[in-house]
């Protein structure tokens, strides 16, 4: 799961970098994390046949706990000359794994989406926000508003890699001298502010009079990420070694044992930044907020009620939303539905059906690979590869396919180290709604869910939720209740 947070952090950066830019020819930028060069990016805007193609490619090399990983992310958008969206493409490569998304806006005001992963292609139709702008639309709006200091406006900006449209506030700042690589330039500051599930995100661009972004600064977890204009020679030059796991691993103040036997564990989370921590509370996890910003999270073992039947026929809004199909879950596809019914067999008990699905997923994914970019359910069934993200996605897809409300949970989980206290690392699992209660399950482990899990977000499997509040807190106290 750890590579997911890094990959979608980089995807988020790409959305912000190409949001404003007028360069007709290719532009090279060095990608810096905490001041160290980890790769390069290219940006281009071209007008062909009355249409505008804006493209961005990021190529970085990172250190993941001593293992070198190469990540390449490319995305492009095609718009009319007046900034109306036509289509978009996203291509990502993590090691040997490649995945592609292509979206085309149709006449019904929706988006026809094609997902290709491991040579397998699936299609679906998703909703489209009619006010959403892509790169050229935002560029034209910014030109219209002008670069006078203090100018402020709002726009809904579509991010192709996460398939999300975010309402953003854009504010023009002062013109100042900015240090680039090998030179200085007088540039105008533009700040874009938007909300995510876990707080406010602010990215800062420095643009010339033609809106070419020559420097972009975006926070990613507890790190500072920069895209800085440079020569082609410098862009392709050697990279520094940066271990990105340092920003997403949370130390435990004490060693934890007997996680499966503990009745509950309370974790005290202390914010390390200015964002207020907001964590989900229901089922296996309860949350208490202190006046000073600390958050007490209690995780308890709770069993699913026995005797409840499925499919779900209630009217709980969250539960009904947790039955819907989605791009990555594909729970409405005939193949997933047929497989889900084979797995649950003749059982009518929802708790038993969930246990059967959990065990099936654990055994079915026999190649516990961590190099998968982010695979949809049908691809997971075919490849039988994946780490916790794929386990969670397939678990939720199968549960929804038989009418059991389910969601993907992203968070952290305790793992031991050779010496001293262990650490919490990014993880994904699932939760299901049975008998009016949300119950957490984990198909990555033979014994399932235990009290070493801390949930940070629930979702329908969208990659957007890989960007959680990691890096924004530390665990300062742990109380085990046997």
Read off the tokens for 425.
Answer: 């690392």
Q: Give dist(CA 392, CA 7) in Å, integer.
A: 18
- Residue of 147, 108, 111, 101 lying closest to 132 (CA atoms): 111
Number of residues written out for the chain: 482
Residue 172 CB burial class (10 angstroms; 0-12, 13-18, ≥19): buried
DSSP string over 372-387: -----HHHHHHH-B-S
Instruction: Please tell me the pTM assigned to this model.
Output: 0.79
- Rounded-to-integer distance, Cα 5 and Cα 283, Å: 25
β-sheet bridge partners, residue 465: none
**Tokens read off for 427:** 């993880």
Helix (H, G, I), strand (E, B) or coil at 243: strand
- Confirm if 156 and 129 have CB atoms less than 8 A apart: yes
Rounded to whole angstroms, the Cα distance separating 155 from 165 reads 10
> Whole-angstrom Cα distance, residue 333 to residue 126?
15
319, 404 Cβ separation under 8 angstroms: no
| Predicted confidence pLDDT, tens digits, the chain (482 residues) | 444 445 545 555 555 454 445 445 558 999 998 889 999 999 999 999 999 999 999 998 877 656 677 888 899 999 999 999 999 999 988 767 788 999 999 999 999 999 887 677 888 888 899 999 999 999 999 999 999 999 999 999 998 887 888 899 999 999 999 999 989 999 999 999 987 655 678 889 999 998 889 999 987 766 788 999 999 999 999 988 777 666 678 999 999 988 888 889 999 999 987 778 888 888 899 999 999 999 999 999 888 899 999 999 999 999 999 999 988 899 999 999 999 999 999 999 999 999 999 999 999 998 876 655 567 898 899 888 888 989 999 999 999 999 999 999 989 999 986 566 789 988 999 999 999 999 999 999 888 899 999 999 888 877 655 555 677 899 999 999 87
How many other CB atoms are found less than 10 A from the CB of residue 358?
A: 26
Contacts of 256 (CB under 8 A, 6+ apart): 265, 414, 421, 422, 452, 478, 480
The single-letter DSSP state of residue 41 is: E
All domains of the chain, ordered by start, with CATH? 2-246 (no CATH), 250-481 (3.10.620.30)
Q: Which residue has the tokens 């492009």?
A: 76
Please name every residue paired with 215 in a beta bridge, in sequence order, or none if there are none: 206, 228
**What is d(CA 94, CA 69) in angstroms, rounded to the nearest whole number?**
7
Q: Is 130 exposed, middle or buried (0-12, 13-18, 19+ CB in 10 A)?
A: exposed
- Compute the Cα dihedral for 214, 220, 2, 243 and give only its sign: positive
Contact 401, 330 (CB under 8 A): no
């Amino acid at each position: 799961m750890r590579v997911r947070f890094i990959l979608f952090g980089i995807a988020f950066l790409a959305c912000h970098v190409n949001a404003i830019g007028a360069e007709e020819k290719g532009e090279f930028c060095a990608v810096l994390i905490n001041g160290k060069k980890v790769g390069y990016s290219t940006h281009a805007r071209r007008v062909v046949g009355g249409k505008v193609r804006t493209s961005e490619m990021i190529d970085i090399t990172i250190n993941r706990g001593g293992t070198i990983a190469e990540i390449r992310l490319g995305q492009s958008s095609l718009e009319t000359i007046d900034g109306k969206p036509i289509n978009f493409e996203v291509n990502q490569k993590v090691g040997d794994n490649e995945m592609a998304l292509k979206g085309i806006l149709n006449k019904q005001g929706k988006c026809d989406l094609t997902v290709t992963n491991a040579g397998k292609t699936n299609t679906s139709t998703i909703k489209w926000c009619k006010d959403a702008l892509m790169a050229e639309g935002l560029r034209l709006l910014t030109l219209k508003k002008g670069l006078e200091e203090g100018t402020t406006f709002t726009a809904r900006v579509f991010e192709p890699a996460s398939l999300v449209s975010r309402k953003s506030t854009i504010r023009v700042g002062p013109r100042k001298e900015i240090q680039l690589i090998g030179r200085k330039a007088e540039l105008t500051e533009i700040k874009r502010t938007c909300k995510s599930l876990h707080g406010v995100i602010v990215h800062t661009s420095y643009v010339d009079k033609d809106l070419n972004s020559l420097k972009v600064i975006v926070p990613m977890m507890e790190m500072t990420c920069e895209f800085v204009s440079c020569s082609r020679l410098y862009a392709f030059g050697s990279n520094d070694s940066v271990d990105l796991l340092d920003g997403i691993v949370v130390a435990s103040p004490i060693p934890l044992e007997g996680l499966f036997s503990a009745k509950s564990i309370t974790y005290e989370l202390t914010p390390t930044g200015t964002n207020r921590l907001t964590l989900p509370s229901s089922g296996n996890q309860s949350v208490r907020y202190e006046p000073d910003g600390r958050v007490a999270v209690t995780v308890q073992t709770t069993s699913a009620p026995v005797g409840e039947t499925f499919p779900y026929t209630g009217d709980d809004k969250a539960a009904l939303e947790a039955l819907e199909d989605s791009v990555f879950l594909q729970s409405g596809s005939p193949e997933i539905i047929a497989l889900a019914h084979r797995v649950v067999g003749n059982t009518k008990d929802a708790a038993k059906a969930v246990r059967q699905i959990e065990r099936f997923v654990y055994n079915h994914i026999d190649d516990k690979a961590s190099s998968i970019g982010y695979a949809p359910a049908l691809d997971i069934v075919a490849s039988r590869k994946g780490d916790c993200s794929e386990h969670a996605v397939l678990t939720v897809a199968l549960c929804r396919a038989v009418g059991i409300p389910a969601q993907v949970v992203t968070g952290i989980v305790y793992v031991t180290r050779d010496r001293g206290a262990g650490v919490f690392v990014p993880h994904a699992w699932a939760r299901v709604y049975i008998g009016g209660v949300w119950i957490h399950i984990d198909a990555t482990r033979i014994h399932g869910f235990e009290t070493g899990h801390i949930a940070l977000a629930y979702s329908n499997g969208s990659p957007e939720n890989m960007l959680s509040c990691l890096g924004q807190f530390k665990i300062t106290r742990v109380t085990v209740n046997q």
